[in-house]
A and B are shown apart, each in its own frame.
Chain A
Amino acid sequence: MKRTALFGLCAAGVAALAACGVKLIESSETDLFVLVDASGTYAANMDSAVQASRLMAVQLAPKDTITFAQISSCSFSDENVVLRSTLPSTPSRAAMRKQDIFRQLDQYRDTFQATSYTDIRGALKYASFELAQSGKDAKYIVVFSDMVEDTAPDCDTRDLAIDLTGITVIATNVTKLRSDSANPEAYFDRLAKWEEIVTSAGGIWVLAPNTEQVLESIS
């Protein structure tokens, strides 16, 4: 009798929790896709981009995934992926993996070669495709770029359709061009254009002027 009552009590508790919308077992994993502009106009900022990427990687929790890829002349390609890693579930092994990631990022910073064109849309398409396949709960694309789209003649992606549903796109360290000094509106127009592209593709647009705000956005 007592056992039945106890079982009933437990069942009622579980039902109450389920009714309140509390999942009994759930996972909250993050997939972070970092895109770094490797074009000549942005190459000088590679150091700060890598440094910010390290700080983002250290903030990730076990089972989170980080991908680091460059925005090149024709970005929708596996060749642009520098690293892709899912952290192990235990904290010690996750920390060791993070240290590996730092080494890979340092190696890339020391060996990368600047590209002639900037295919941002192709990079976003690639990142959104990869994120859609990951099935993680929170998906972020962090873009380090001046946001100037400059496609190669043989890789014109200006009319490429992108689906960014469920993805937060964080543009950070968006540098100003020399020409922007004479015409600041061009800088803001550029940002507005990309915001329009991202939101119309179903994504969430976040402009983070510094690394702290990026970390805050992905936490």
Chain B
Amino acid sequence: MPDWFSTWPEWAQWVAYLVIVALVLTLLWVARPNLHNVLKAVFFGISHWLSRISIWFGAAGESMYDQYCETVAAHRAEEYQQRLYRHNARIANTVSVDTGNVMDATGKLEVSAISIEGAARSLSDVNLSREAELEIKRAMADKDTAKNTVKLVQNVKTALSAKVLEVRPDIQKIRQELPALQRNIERLHESEQKLSRAAESINADLAEFSEAIHSDDRRAVAEKESIVIPWVLALLVMSIALFGVFLNFFLIQRPMAEIVGDDIRVVGLSLPTTAAIVVIFLEAAAGIVLMESLRITRLMKISELSDSMRRVFLVAAVVVLLGFSAFEALLAFQREALIELDQRTQELAQGIDPVAGTAPVVDAGDAAAGEEDDAHENGKSLSFALWAQVILAVIIPWLLATAAIPLETVVQNLWFILRLAAHQILMFLSVLSKVLATAIRSFGLFLLRLYDLIIFLPLAIEQMVRRTHKPTRGDYS
């Protein structure tokens, strides 16, 4: 405040304050429509644009998701197609094996049926009551027998027994044929069940394939199975394989200097380091070729080659991997020799005689025995460590080869995952824009209300005046 103002009496100062406030309020009241328009233009305009951006992000996100669903559905269709091809091959193989079994069983069944039929015919020809009647008539014709009833019965019994004996081989034959008959029926039943199961599986896959191709609901097809979970699992397995690579690198890096020397650096890395990395990459490449030629993975075109060409790649990959195993095993020996040599050099540099050592001298005999024991123990642990290295060196190239299996999933699903991630990011941006738009609009409204609150007195007076004169005034809310 200026100095002259402070010279005024207190009541005058208060009056001055009131006048200033009244003037400011009046000015604000006068400027209300224009200032309201400015605030609305700024805040509501920004909010409007953010809403439009939100809609754009949302549409882009949805479009991205549709593209993702389409590619995933196509991928699924391809998977089912491959599965159907495999079913086809398996069924062809099963049918060729089972046809023989079925033919064999059918042949045996026919033989059994003929045999049983013959036996049954023989049995049907037997008429025991007629035999008994004939025997009785014959006995009655004989005077001696006719008088003796016991003898009569005995004769009939003997005659019937003879007849039963006659048909017993047929009954035995039927009894023998029954288990074989049962077995063959079971075999046929098993074959039928196997083929039914295969048919069910094929039908299910065919239905899935058909749905993946023809269904209009691409999202339903894509969301049937998760893409992310197998990808994360494959990534996890890949990470474990990478740890193996890391271990392998440290095993071969040091002895590699014996082969390539250690005097230059390539792109900032020492030559043995670069050589070890190259060897690991070559092992991984051989592993991928091996898995491709075995048709376990389908990253490259090798799996689609003819069987003879595939066999060539398979043999080449196995030979290369065997070579790398042997190479790494040799490097393990070299590594151990280098460590020993370096240790001896270090000891010599420090003035320690590596042969005598620095152990305190006790009794000469005890010391000699102790050293012998220590040397024996050290030698044993050294050889254990060495053989552990050799085993690792031999195994690791093959473990690297198996890493091609999760690699396939990682590579194939990466594009889907990227699209999914892009969709999620776009949707997040859409929500964020919407939230910002709402927040800015709300803040603008709050400012307008606050403005009206500050000038509530002139507004109230205005309303009263308007009620008495003209009842309408624009409402900006």
Which residue numbers of A lie inside 8 Å of B, CB to CB? 17, 22-29, 51, 54-55, 57-58, 61-63, 89-92, 94-96, 98-99, 102
A23 to B261, CA, bound (A): 19
Instruction: Return the contact of B265 from the options A25, A94, A98 (Cβ within 8 A).
Output: A25
Which residue of the partner chain A has the closest CB to B265? A26
A94 to B263, CA, bound (A): 11
Known pairs A55-B349, A91-B338; A27 contacts B265 (CB<8 A): yes
- Interface contact B350-A61, CB-CB below 8 Å: no
- Interface contact B349-A58, CB-CB below 8 Å: yes
In the complex, how many angstroms separate the beta carbon of A111 from the nearest chain B beta carbon? 18
Does any Cβ of A come within 8 Å of B371's Cβ?
A: no
Interface string of B445-469 (1 = CB under 8 A from A): 0000000000000000000000000
Interface string of B328-364 (1 = CB under 8 A from A): 0000000001100110111011110000000000000
In the complex, how many angstroms separate the beta carbon of A219 from the nearest chain B beta carbon? 15
- Interface contact A92-B337, CB-CB below 8 Å: yes
Contacts of A58 in B (CB 8 A): 345-346, 349
Instruction: Return the contact of B264 from the options A26, A95, A96 (Cβ within 8 A).
Output: A26
- Interface contact A27-B342, CB-CB below 8 Å: no
- Interface contact A95-B342, CB-CB below 8 Å: yes
Which residue numbers of B lie inside 8 Å of A, CB to CB? 254, 257-258, 261-268, 337-338, 341-342, 344-346, 348-351
Select the residue from B345, B346, B350 with max chain A CB neighbours within 10 A. Answer: B345
A62 to B351, CA, bound (A): 22
What 11 new A-B contacts, CB under 8 Å, besides A26-B265, A58-B349? A22-B268, A27-B263, A55-B349, A58-B346, A61-B263, A63-B262, A63-B263, A91-B254, A92-B337, A95-B342, A99-B344
In the complex, how many angstroms separate the beta carbon of B345 from the nearest chain A beta carbon? 5
Contacts of A95 in B (CB 8 A): 338, 341-342, 344-345
How many pairs, one residue from A and one from B, have CB atoms within 8 Å of each other in the complex? 69
Instruction: Return the contact of A62 from the options B261, B267, B342 (Cβ within 8 A).
Output: B261
Known pairs A28-B265, A62-B262; A90 contacts B257 (CB<8 A): yes
A60 to B263, CA, bound (A): 12
A24 to B267, CA, bound (A): 4
Instruction: Return the contact of B349 from the options A22, A25, A29, A57 (Cβ within 8 A).
Output: A57
Known pairs A91-B258, A95-B342, A98-B349; A62 contacts B263 (CB<8 A): yes
Contacts of A28 in B (CB 8 A): 265
A95 to B354, CA, bound (A): 14
Question: What are 24 pairs between A and B in contact, CB < 8 Å?
Answer: A23-B267, A23-B268, A24-B266, A25-B264, A25-B266, A27-B263, A27-B264, A54-B350, A55-B350, A58-B346, A62-B261, A89-B261, A90-B258, A90-B261, A91-B262, A91-B338, A92-B258, A92-B338, A95-B342, A95-B344, A96-B341, A98-B345, A99-B345, A102-B349
- Interface contact B263-A29, CB-CB below 8 Å: yes
In the complex, how many angstroms separate the beta carbon of B358 from the nearest chain A beta carbon? 15
Which residue of the partner chain A has the closest CB to B268? A22
Known pairs A91-B258, A98-B345; A51 contacts B351 (CB<8 A): yes
- Interface contact A62-B345, CB-CB below 8 Å: no
Contacts of A55 in B (CB 8 A): 349-350
A55 to B348, CA, bound (A): 9
A28 to B269, CA, bound (A): 11
Which residue of the partner chain B has the closest CB to A63? B263
Contacts of A22 in B (CB 8 A): 267-268
In the complex, how many angstroms separate the beta carbon of A211 from the nearest chain B beta carbon? 11
In the complex, how many angstroms separate the beta carbon of B147 from the nearest chain A beta carbon? 118
A54 to B346, CA, bound (A): 9
Contacts of A92 in B (CB 8 A): 258, 337-338, 341
In the complex, how many angstroms separate the beta carbon of A109 from the nearest chain B beta carbon? 11
Which residue of the partner chain A has the closest CB to B262? A62
Contacts of B257 in A (CB 8 A): 62, 90-91
In the complex, how many angstroms separate the beta carbon of A84 from the nearest chain B beta carbon? 18
A29 to B348, CA, bound (A): 24
Which residue of the partner chain A has the closest CB to B254? A91
Contacts of A24 in B (CB 8 A): 266-267
Contacts of A99 in B (CB 8 A): 344-345, 348
- Interface contact B268-A91, CB-CB below 8 Å: no
Contacts of B266 in A (CB 8 A): 24-25
In the complex, how many angstroms separate the beta carbon of A12 from the nearest chain B beta carbon? 15
In the complex, how many angstroms separate the beta carbon of B337 from the nearest chain A beta carbon? 7
A57 to B257, CA, bound (A): 19
Contacts of A91 in B (CB 8 A): 254, 257-258, 262, 338, 341-342
Please name the 10 residue pairs, one residue from A and one from B, whose CB atoms are nearest each other, closest first: A89-B261, A63-B263, A58-B349, A89-B263, A54-B349, A62-B262, A95-B345, A95-B341, A27-B264, A91-B257
- Interface contact A89-B262, CB-CB below 8 Å: yes
Which residue of the partner chain B has the closest CB to A55? B349
In the complex, how many angstroms separate the beta carbon of B264 from the nearest chain A beta carbon? 5
A46 to B345, CA, bound (A): 21
In the complex, how many angstroms separate the beta carbon of A103 from the nearest chain B beta carbon? 9
Contacts of B348 in A (CB 8 A): 54, 99, 102
Which residue of the partner chain B has the closest CB to A88? B261
A90 to B263, CA, bound (A): 8
Which residue of the partner chain A has the closest CB to B341? A95
Which residue of the partner chain A has the closest CB to B348? A102
Contacts of A62 in B (CB 8 A): 257, 261-263
Which residue of the partner chain A has the closest CB to B257? A91
Which residue of the partner chain A has the closest CB to B258? A90
A93 to B445, CA, bound (A): 83
A91 to B339, CA, bound (A): 10
A51 to B352, CA, bound (A): 11
